[in-house]
Amino acid sequence: MKRGYRVEKDYLGSKKIPSQVYYGIATQRALENFPISGLHFSMKLVQALAMIKKAAAIANKRIKRLDENKANAIVRACEDVIYGKLNDQFPLDVFQAGAGTSEHMNINEVIANRALEILHKTRGSYGIIDPHDHVNLGQSTNDVFHSAIHVAAYQAISKQLFPALHHVEEALQKKSREWKSIKKTGRTHLRDAVPLTLGQEFGGYAATIANDRKSLGKIYSDLLKINLGGTAVGTSVNAPERFRKSMYKELYAMTRAKFHPGNLFGETQSLSTISSISSSLKVLAEDLIKIANDLRLLSSGPTSGIDEVELPAVQPGSSIMPGKVNPSIAEMVDMVGFYVISNDTAITLCSQAGQLELNVMMPLAAHALIHSIEVLTKALDIFSLHCINGMKAHKGKIKDYVEKNPLLVTALTPHIGYQKASSVVQQAYMKGKTIREIILEQHLMDEETLNKALK
Catalytic residues: 318
DSSP-derived pairing of the beta strands 225-226 and 191-197: unpaired
Count other C-beta atoms under 10 Å from residue 348's C-beta: 17
Among positive and negative, which fits the CA dihedral 53, 56, 61, 65? negative
Q: How many DSSP H helices and E strands does the chain contain?
A: 17, 8
Q: Between the CA of residue 421 and those of 410, 413, 426, 431, 444, what are the distances in Å?
A: 7, 6, 9, 15, 10
What DSSP string runs through 131-190?
Answer: IIIIITTT--HHHHHHHHHHHHHHHHIIIIIHHHHHHHHHHHHHHHHHTTT-EEEEEETT
Given a contact cutoff of 8 angstroms between Cβ atoms, the answer to whether 30 and 10 are in contact is no
Count other C-beta atoms under 10 Å from residue 38's C-beta: 8
- Identify the CA nearest to 146 among candidates 15, 259, 30, 311: 259
DSSP-derived pairing of the beta strands 225-226 and 260-261: parallel
Euclidean distance between the first and the last CA atom of the chain, given in angstroms as a whole number? 81
Q: Between the CA of residue 146 and those of 71, 115, 271, 307, 439, what are the distances in Å?
A: 23, 24, 9, 49, 69
Rounded CA gap, 138 and 59, in Å?
Answer: 10
Inter-axis angle of helices 141-156 and 362-386, nearest 10: 10
Percentage helix, strand, coil for the chain under 3-state DSSP, each rounded to 5: 65, 10, 30
β partners of residue 309: 393
Q: Between the CA of residue 25 and those of 10, 29, 108, 373, 394, what are the distances in Å?
A: 7, 6, 11, 32, 64
What DSSP string runs through 213-247?
Answer: HHHHHHHGGGGGEE-TT-TTTSS-TT--HHHHHHH
Given a contact cutoff of 8 angstroms between Cβ atoms, the answer to whether 259 and 226 are in contact is yes
SS3 state at 342:
helix
Rounded CA gap, 147 and 162, in Å?
Answer: 21
Given a contact cutoff of 8 angstroms between Cβ atoms, the answer to whether 371 and 42 are in contact is yes
